[in-house]
Amino acid sequence: MGAVADVVLGFADYRAPAQRLAIALGVAYAEVDVHRFPDGESRVRLPTPVPPRVLFCRSLDRPNDKLVELLFAAATARELGAEALALVAPYLCYMRQDKAFHPGEAVSQRIIGRELARCFDTVVTVDPHLHRTPVLADAVPVPRALALSAAEPLAARLAAREDAPLLLGPDEESAQWVEAIADRAGLDHAVAAKTRSGDRAVVIELPAVPLAGRSVVLVDDVASTGRTLAEACRALRAAGAARVDVAVTHALFAGDALAVLAEAGVGEVLSTDSILHESNAVELAPLLAAALAEV
Ligand code: R5P
C-alpha cells in the first residue's frame, strides 16, 4: 500500500469491517487467532512473519477481554519485529468515564488511554465520547491520535429522506453530533435536556420547538441501554411527532435496548458499522481509509 501499514490484522469478531478497511487501503488482511480457554484466559497468536508496519483493526465494544487480547497482540507484534503499530478502533471504550464522579472511582478514560499509548504509535477512532476532554490526544497520548467524525456519512443517509426530519439530540452532550449532521444534511435540529438518575433511569425535557405532525430523527453518538432514546421518543410521541427514528454512530444496544425502543414507538434504527449490529446502515471504511491515507 502506500504509507500507512503493510498489513491489516483483524479479529474474528470484527472481521467484515476490518476486511473492508484493508480493501479500501489496498493492503493485505490477516487475522489474529484468539483461543478462549475454559477458564476464561485467552491465547493470542499472530500470523507470522510480522511485517514492519502493522495496523490492528478491532472495535472495542464489550471491551474487557478484547483489551487484554489487543495488548497481547501489540506486544507480540513488537517482539516479532514490528516497528510501527497503529490501532483502528472505530468504537473506543471507556471514553465516557473521564472523571471520578464519586470519591475512589477509577478514571478509566485516562487509564485505558495510557495503556493504549504504551502499545501503539497511532490510534484512530470515530466519534469518541470526549465530554470534558477537549481532544483525543489528551485521553490517548500517542504521537498520532485521530478522532474522526461519522457526521458526513450519517448526514448523507439522512439527507436522502424525503420528509426532511427534524434532528433532535436527546441531551446537551449530543449537541456536537446533531449540529454537525444537521449542518451537512441541511436539516433543522434541536437539543433536549436529560437528567439521569441511574443506568436505566432518565428523564427527558423536550425543547420548545413545533413537533406536532413532524418526522423526527433522534441523533446520538452512542446508545447503550436505549433508555435515553426511548424516553425521548415517548416525549416526542406525546408531543404529537408523526414518526420517530434513531440514528447513532455506535450501536452498543445492551440487553433489551432494541425491544425498549420498539415499545417506546421508535421506527427505524440506523447506525454505523463501528460496532457490528443489525441496525448497521453506514460503512465507515471509506472515512477511515481516507484519514489513514493522510497519516
Ligand atoms: C451520553 O451522554 C451518551 O451520549 C448517550 O446519550 C448515553 O450513553 C446513552 O445511554 P443509554 O442508551 O444507556 O441511555
Mean pLDDT of the chain: 96
Q: What is the model's pLDDT at position 7?
A: 98
| pLDDT range class, residue 131, cuts 50, 70, 90 | confident
Torsion, Cα 103 112 278 21, to 10 degrees, reads 160
Strand ranges inside the chain, DSSP E = 7-11, 28-36, 42-45, 53-57, 84-88, 122-126, 144-148, 166-169, 189-191, 193-198, 201-205, 215-223, 243-251, 269-272, 280-282
pLDDT mean over 194-201: 94
pLDDT over 80 at 2, yes or no: no
| pLDDT range class, residue 1, cuts 50, 70, 90 | very low
Kindly report the protein residue whose alpha carbon is nearest to atom 1 of ligand 1: 173
Query: How many whole angstroms separate alpha carbon 238 and alpha carbon 185?
Result: 26
How much distance in Å is there from the Cα of 256 to the middle of ligand 1? 15
221 ligand 1 Cβ < 6 A: yes
How much distance in Å is there from the Cα of 95 to the middle of ligand 1? 12
Which numbered atom of ligand 1 lies nearest the CA of 225?
A: 13
Query: How many whole angstroms separate alpha carbon 12 and alpha carbon 6?
Result: 19
171 ligand 1 Cβ < 6 A: yes
pLDDT by residue (tens digit) across 266-280? 999 999 999 999 999
- The active-site residue out of 53, 58, 66, 194 is 194
Q: What is the model's pLDDT at position 4?
A: 83
194 is catalytic: yes
